[in-house]
Amino acid sequence: MNKPLEKSSSAEVGPMKMNIDGVEHTFDIDDPRLPEWVEAKVITAGGFPYEKKLKRKEYEESLEKLQIELVKMQTWMQATGARVMALFEGRDAAGKGGTIQRVRKYMNPRTARNVALPKPTEAEAGQWYFQRYVTHFPTRSEFVTFDRSWYNRGVVEPVMGFCTPEQHEQFLAEAPRFEQSIVMDGIHLFKFWLNIGRETQLKRFHDRRHSLLKHWKFSPMDIAGMAKWDDYTKMRDLMIERTHTDYAPWTIVRANDKRRARLAVMRRILVSVPYAGRDTEAIGAEDERIIGSGPDFLD
């Protein structure tokens, strides 16, 4: 007999009213049954250009080839001292952690590391905003990924009231100058925004809420975020418009299908870093329906 599911929070969330594309819906994350209106648009939500996920066999074949190329790239980095830094941003449940895990899976962890910072300490809160991130920047030959970054202040903090409007505006003004200094110092900088549709996010939240293995991922922040979709969208659009530059562009990845998104991220890194021995045939062509640059590629 199956044991009853332990929820990630002792308190039930209860039904929530939400307007999606002009239609009023009720969503109850505590109900183990996923509503049909969510299930029907898990992949196609938000104008995603495919109706089905990439087939597993095709995904796994491409994934292996790209991971081999990433290992080759790391070997070149170790020989040349090149530094690479990739920021991964997106709404909650956009697939940031899973993408990072696939990118780094076969890379040498001694020189390929991930940074996922908790909330600032009292000392960090009194520092220059960017200071605690700088300490984690790559040194010679390092590949560093950030699972969320200084762009917390671009979207999450203003939506949730964790910073003042003045702090938010100061961040939007400073971030491009800060990133220009990073690029001028020779670091290969990538900024990925993984973009998902609303029904896609609801399905992933629902899966977390009712999973014995992943329920810990569903947090009070996720609950709050479900009710603030439009606020997140407004801040996302403003952030990308203000901080998308020629030297540090935003790469937008349509991520309703995690398989296509992961491959797209890997390809973008591999075609952008000038490592020796690149196998362009193994990397393959970028899917322009999945990956693009800047505000124009958003929904």
> CA 291 → CA 7, 48, 157, 165, 218, distances in Å?
36, 11, 26, 31, 28
Beta bridge partners of 16: 27
pLDDT per residue as tens digits for the range 138-188: 999 999 999 999 999 999 999 999 999 999 999 999 999 999 999 999 999
Alpha-carbon distance of 210 to 193, in angstroms, equals 27
Q: Where are the domains of the chain?
A: 40-277
| Ranges of the chain with pLDDT below 50 | 1-10
| Backbone phi and psi for residue 178, each to the nearest 5 degrees, phi listed first | -60, -45
Can you give the pLDDT at residue 206?
A: 93
Amino acid at 250: W
Cβ neighbours of residue 130 closer than 8 Å, sequence gap 6 or more: 150, 174, 178
49 C-beta neighbours (distance < 10 Å), count: 14
Q: Retrieve residue 11's tokens.
A: 């308190």
Amino acid at 85: M
Taking the alpha carbons at both ends of the chain, their separation in whole angstroms is 45
Amino acid at 237: D
CA-nearest of 96, 87, 238 to 157 is 238
Alpha-carbon distance of 115 to 149, in angstroms, equals 8
What is the 3-class SS of 14-47, one letter each residue? Answer: CEEEEEECCEEEEEECCCCCCCHHHHCCCCCHHH
What's 294's DSSP letter? S
Cα Dmax for the chain: 61
Can you give the pLDDT at residue 299?
A: 67
Sign of CA pseudo-dihedral 12, 13, 17, 18? negative
| Backbone phi and psi for residue 208, each to the nearest 5 degrees, phi listed first | -65, -45
Can you give the pLDDT at residue 10?
A: 44
Instruction: For domain 40-277, give the CATH number.
Output: 3.40.50.300
Sign of CA pseudo-dihedral 180, 182, 185, 188? negative
pLDDT per residue as tens digits for the range 14-46: 899 998 888 999 999 999 999 999 999 999 999
Can you give the pLDDT at residue 226?
A: 84
> CA 51 → CA 11, 47, 252, 255, 282, distances in Å?
36, 10, 19, 13, 26
